[in-house]
Chain A
Amino acid sequence: MIELHRVSKVYEVGPVKVPALTDVSFHLGKGEFVVLTGPSGAGKTSLLRLLYREELPTEGDIEVLGQPVTELSRAKVQTLRRSIGVVFQDAKLLPGRTVYENIAFVLRVTGTARREITARAFDALRAVGLSSRAQAYPAQLSLGEAQRAALARAIVRQQPLLIADEPTGNLDDAMAAEVLAIIKDIWTSGTTVILATHQARLARTLRRRTLMLEAGRLVKDEG
């Protein structure tokens, strides 16, 4: 499902080179649930962004859902992205649209038939327990609700792969546990999940395969 071979990523900020990932290789099978962990700045977000080609690696090969990510044309990249649900670290909810509209937006721009949109959007909202807040604007949501709205948007197209970058970001333990339970449900229904978190304790409670990054290097792969 996901294959990284000796991947490195160096950001160039003007003349300064910022190494974010160094020589990372791993394989992730279909239906797996893997936790990506490591301290802040270790390169978790950078790694995830390579998977849906928001960034290109400086070195190495990446394969996602059978596609050689680095070699895809622009149109093929868009096709690949339609198969991947992403919860972004910064949520990226559109402030001018309600929760429902944010989710419907994704369906509309990816060509879902108009008559299916409402039902599918509400299915996703129910899955994260947010149907009652459908008409709220992002600014009117609590942090936990916003995270769940972002999660609903990521799963609404029922993609085979879910990438979740700090989906429990600033939540308290109870709220975090609730969001993780939802993600586990999604995984149980057959979706492959890769979840990044800097909260080591949280990573342990999940008791799944864990990849640990430190300063851009993969230092542990266990479980």
Chain B
Amino acid sequence: MLGFVVGEALRDLRRAGRVAVSAVVLITLSLVALGVFWVLSFNLGRAVAEWRDRVRIIVYLKREPSPAEVPALMQRVRALPDVAGARYVAKAEALASLKRVLGKDAGVADQLPSNPLPASIEVTPTAAGATPDGAGALIQRLAALPEADEVAGGAEWVERLSHWQRLLATIGLGIGATLALAAILTVTTSTTLVLHARRHETEIMRLVGAPEAAIRLPLLLQGLVQGLLGALLALLALAVGHHLAAPWLEPLMSLTIGVPRLEFLTPPGMVTLLAAGAGLGAFGGWLARGRRGLA
């Protein structure tokens, strides 16, 4: 019986001919659109996550506290809400890291009469403190410390990145959904053609007592095959596109958003794409079922 169902489904695909091909192409297009935006938004998402982790707020101090004062000051800072961690940077340490940055030009710093760099506290906010609002509030709290001279840092631009990511995901979903709708309707049309082409077979099957499953499953299956085929083609197109685009995009990404690699879909992502294709196709096949007197 399984052999029969699969054989009939393939026969049905041949019968639907060009319309089935259109359905497959439309499914491919809709999934490629979804996939492209998905990949882009996924990579932007990684950048956002990475930058969220890297959000730091620097509190420059009016004067360098004595070593005895540091622990009490740090304790007060760590006790503030939304502070995940804090590190004290003494004037000497600040100068040392400046010299490290300057490298072979470090001699310039040696010529300074005194160390011009202030002591500071490097604050790592919690996740809540890394949002624009959270960071704003935290900056105010830190600025209110009597020792604070100036507070630098913020999270607005990370949020702007995350906004772009959401926008991209929404556009992708919109285009994908529109094309998916067209794909479903095309599968429905091709299935309706199949129903018409096999109406004599269906009649005989009903009259000789074939189980409902044998009558309906091939229809569902041929839709599913169209969907799966479309999804496979989409996956292939996406992989080829990624392979070609990555060498161009990666230097750009590394410069702008600080993420050096354009990641492709993860294996669960690929499975999801295939399942989405199969689902689209089966749904289209199922929609056609009621239309022409199968019942």
Contact = CB atoms under 8 A, between A and B. Distances in A.
Contacts of B205: 109
A78 B212 contact: yes
B209 interface: yes
Interface string B184-219: 000000000000000011011111111110110000
Contacts of A109: 4, 204-205, 208, 210, 214-215
B244 to A, nearest CB: 46
6 contacts: A75-B212, A86-B207, A92-B203, A106-B208, A111-B211, A114-B3
Say what secondary structure dominates the interface of chain B: helix
Interface string B206-246: 11111110110000000000000000000000000000000
B1 interface: yes
A81 interface: yes
Given A54-B207, A114-B3, A94 B212 contact: no
Nearest to A95: B200
Contacts of A82: 208-209
A84 B203 CA distance: 16
Given A86-B208, A157-B208, 13 more contacts: A54-B207, A75-B212, A78-B206, A78-B210, A92-B203, A94-B200, A106-B208, A108-B1, A108-B4, A110-B208, A110-B211, A111-B211, A114-B3
Nearest to A92: B204
A143 interface: no
Contact of A52 (B4, B207, B210): B207
A74 interface: yes
Interface residues of A, number: 25
B209 A79 contact: yes
Interface string A80-111: 11111010100010110000000001101111
Contacts of A88: 207
Contact-residue size bin, chain B (C-beta under 8 Å from the other chain): 10 to 19
Interface of A: 52, 54, 74-75, 77-84, 86, 88, 92, 94-95, 105-106, 108-111, 114, 157
B212 A105 contact: no
Contacts of A80: 209
B210 to A, nearest CB: 4
Contacts of A105: 201, 204
A80 B211 CA distance: 11
Nearest to B210: A109
Given A108-B4, A109-B4, A75 B207 contact: no
A105 B208 CA distance: 10
A21 to B, nearest CB: 20
B210 A110 contact: yes
A52 B203 CA distance: 13
Contact of B201 (A79, A86, A94, A110): A94
A17 B157 CA distance: 78
Contacts of B208: 81-82, 86, 106, 109-110, 157
The residue among B200, B208, B214 with the most chain A CB atoms within 10 A of its own CB is B208
In the A-B complex, list the 8 residue pairs whose CB atoms are closest, starting with the nearest. A81-B209, A82-B209, A109-B210, A78-B209, A108-B4, A109-B205, A106-B208, A109-B214
A84 B200 CA distance: 19
Nearest to A157: B208
A110 B209 contact: yes
A74 B212 contact: yes
Interface string B261-285: 0000000000000000000000000
Nearest to A106: B208
Interface in B146-197: none
Nearest to A109: B210
A106 B203 CA distance: 12
A158 to B, nearest CB: 13
Contacts of A54: 207
